[in-house]
Structures are given as C-alpha cells and as structure tokens.
Amino acid sequence: MRETTPIHRGGVILLLFALCLANPAVPAAEAVAGGETPIVVPNPGSDLWRAVRQREGATAEMPGTSQVKGSDSGTLIDARGEQWRRYRMERLIPAAGWILGGVLIVLGLFRLVRGQVPIEGGRSARRILRYRMAERIAHWSMALLFLLLAATGLVMLFGRTLLLPLLGGESFGRLAVLSKGTHDIAGPLFFVAMGWMFLRFVSRNLPEPGDLRWLLEGGGMVGDRHPSAGFFNTGEKIVFWLTVLGGTLMAVTGLLMLLPLLGADRFLLQLSHLLHSATAVVLMSAILGHIYIATLGMEGAMDAMKSGWADLNWARQHHDRWVEEVERHGGEIVEAGEIAGKAGQETSRDSPGASA
C-alpha cells in the first residue's frame, strides 16, 4: 500500500475542515439543477456550538466544571453576551448620540434666539475677589481631566461607527488603543482632582433659601429678571453635585471594568458598562451647558476662574447675596488697576464670604 505523505495528510485534513464549514446551499443548488430533491448537509461545527450556546442553563445559573478558579470560569458561553452586544450597538450608542447631539442643537438655537446675557450697566472699574489660586487650580485640574476623559470615551463609544470608516482600520486601531490607555490613566487622576474640588467647594454648594425660586425663574437666562443668588446659584450647585455623585459612580464602575479580577461577573461588568456610559452622557450634557454659559452665554462669567477676580457689576447682577455678605464683612473689593499687585499677595486665608 502506498504510504500517505505529510502533504497528503495535510490535504485530507484541509478537505475535512472545508467540508465542516461548507455552505449546505452548494450541494442543494446542484441537486435542484438536476431536478432532484435538495440534500442539506449539516454543519457539525455550527450544530455543536448552537447546542452549547442555546442549551438550557447555558448562562451562569448552571455553570460547568473548570479547574480555572474565578468569576464565571465554569461558564463556557454566556448567551447574555450577545444580547448585551446588540443592546450596546442598537440602543445605547444611538441614544447617546441623540442626547449629545440634541444638547448641542438646543444650545445653538438658544444662542441664536437669546444671544449673550450682557452685564447690566456695562463693566465696572472695580473687581471682587471670588476664587483663590488653590481653588482655580482645583477647578482647572478637574476640568482638563474631564475633557480628556470625555474625548477618549467618545472615541471608544462612537469610534467604530464614525471614525473607522474615515480613518481606516490601522489608524483607528492606534487611536483606539491610545484612547483606552489614556482613559485608564486619567480616570483615577480625575477622581483625585474631584475629591480636591469637593473639599474646596462643598460648603458653598449646600442648599439655601431661594434656590428653588432661582430654578423656577430660569436663572435669569429666560426673560429680563435675574433671581437672587449667593456665592453659587442653583444651576452651579446642580452641576457640582452631578459631577461629584456622577464622578464617584463612574469611578466605581470604571474600576470594576478596569480590574475584572476583583471578582465581578459578566452581568455586573455589563451593568457597570451601562451605568458608566449613561452617567458619562448625562455629565457631558450638563458640562456642555456649563461651558456654554461660561464662554458664549454670559458676559463676564469666565473672568473669575481665569484671574480670581470678578467684575463687581457682574457679581451684583448674578450673585447679589454674596456681594452683600462680602461688603458687610469688609471683603476684598478693589479697583481694576490694583489686581496685578494683589495677585502676588494671595495668602492661605480666604476673605469672608469667599472661603471654602
């Protein structure tokens, strides 16, 4: 008998593999062409994995046995994974796109209709101390980290749909890897910066009489009336607590996804992904409004966070109760020309009405 060479053995193996993956429609088409009854050749590989995936108890409720110890290690295939993938691609990502796109459209329309809120009576020649250096550093550290996290998170969320067709597989792959690594590093840093900001500003973001009225009157963005407010108005307090609570939730869920060896099973990881993404979309929507007001929406709103000093007329218009408190306690209100000299004299002691 002729001995089978390695090449022949390889050919037999490839032939058997091809038969296993063959499309059953091919022999059926040939049979139909000859007027015979179609013969369907079952795919043993498909039947095997279909039985494994769709069998009763395929999920973690009836796990198998494995020498690997860990969460879900006894589950060969979890059918909920495909359900989650479809939900993410067909529900979560489109909903996030509609929400963020809708916020941008609303802000654009509001800008066209309302325009920028001016300082009544024009800018003053006097300035009032609003933020010390440590407070500005805390704010900008957290703000820059948030923008970095938002940018990299959007790449991971929408990149396959929007960027992959434009950049191609290789370029998008590099961008996705860079975004993932940057996101994983910036996340813990953001949580630290948020804790610093919380300690500096929490005392000024507690509920006060008049907060509800400010909210009902639209914060002065609708109409010509500017409701009374303290150091922070109700809108700023809402953004503060959304950032603190939402940022904490994102930190916890992000840590579970970053370190699955902590013991989270597949369902908890999927839930963490959902909560992380949904919270991020809510926070980005709120921060978009915050950025709009500070830049395009309100004259003079950004001054204090850049230099520490706010225009006195702006402060009286939007934070009248705080200005009254500073004046009552002899706080720092100076001529605009004196700010340069004051910049180098900041001490660790905050002025009355402007302390953390």
CA 107 to CA 113: how far, in whole Å? 10
Minimal CA–CA distance to 83: which of 267, 323, 337, 289? 267
Which pLDDT score, from 0 to 100, does residue 338 have? Answer: 76
Would you say 307 and 94 are in contact if contact means Cβ atoms under 8 Å apart? no
Name the one residue in this structure whose structure tokens are 């910036």.
186
The residues pairing with 126 across neighbouring beta strands, listed in sequence order, are 335
DSSP class of 126? E
Alpha-carbon Rg of the chain, whole angstroms?
A: 30
List per-residue pLDDT tens for the chain, 356 residues long: 444 444 444 444 444 444 444 444 444 444 444 555 555 556 666 666 666 665 554 444 555 666 656 566 656 666 677 788 888 889 999 999 999 999 999 999 999 988 888 998 899 999 999 999 999 999 999 999 999 999 999 999 999 889 999 999 899 999 999 999 999 999 999 999 999 999 999 999 999 888 888 888 877 666 667 788 999 999 999 999 999 999 999 999 999 888 876 667 778 888 899 999 999 999 999 999 999 999 999 999 999 999 999 999 999 999 999 999 999 888 888 887 777 666 555 544 444 444 43
Nearest-angstrom CA–CA distance, 332 and 328: 11
Domain assignments of the chain as residue spans, ordered by start: 80-343
The answer to whether 226 and 318 are in contact (CB under 8 A) is: yes
Cα–Cα distance for residue pair 91/85, rounded to 1 Å: 10
- Looking up tokens 């390695």 gives 6
Q: Which amino acid is at 314?
A: W
Whole-prediction pTM:
0.75
Distance in angstroms (rounded) separating the CA atoms of residues 342 and 337? 10
* CA separation for the pair 270, 276 (Å, rounded): 10
Q: What share of the chain is helix, strand, coil (3-state, %, to 5)?
A: 65, 5, 30
Host H or E run for residue 127: strand 126-129
> How far is the CA of 199 from the CAs of 188, 193, 202, 306, in angstroms?
17, 10, 6, 20
Cβ of 14: how many Cβ atoms within 10 Å? Answer: 10
Residue 6 tokens, joined: 């390695």
Angle at 123 (CA atoms; ends 119, 128), nearest 5 degrees: 100
CB 225 within 8 Å of CB 237: no
Q: Which amino acid is at 295?
A: T
Rounded Cα–Cα distance for residues 132 and 310 (Å): 12
The two tokens of residue 280 are: 């991020």
**Contact between 309 and 265 (Cβ < 8 Å):** no
Give me the amino acid identity at 101: G
- CA atoms of 85 and 89, how far apart (whole Å): 6
Contact between 132 and 350 (Cβ < 8 Å): yes
Q: Which CATH number fits domain 80-343: 3.40.50.1970, 1.10.40.30, 1.20.950.20, 1.20.1250.20?
A: 1.20.950.20
Alpha-carbon distance 93 to 340, whole Å?
Answer: 49
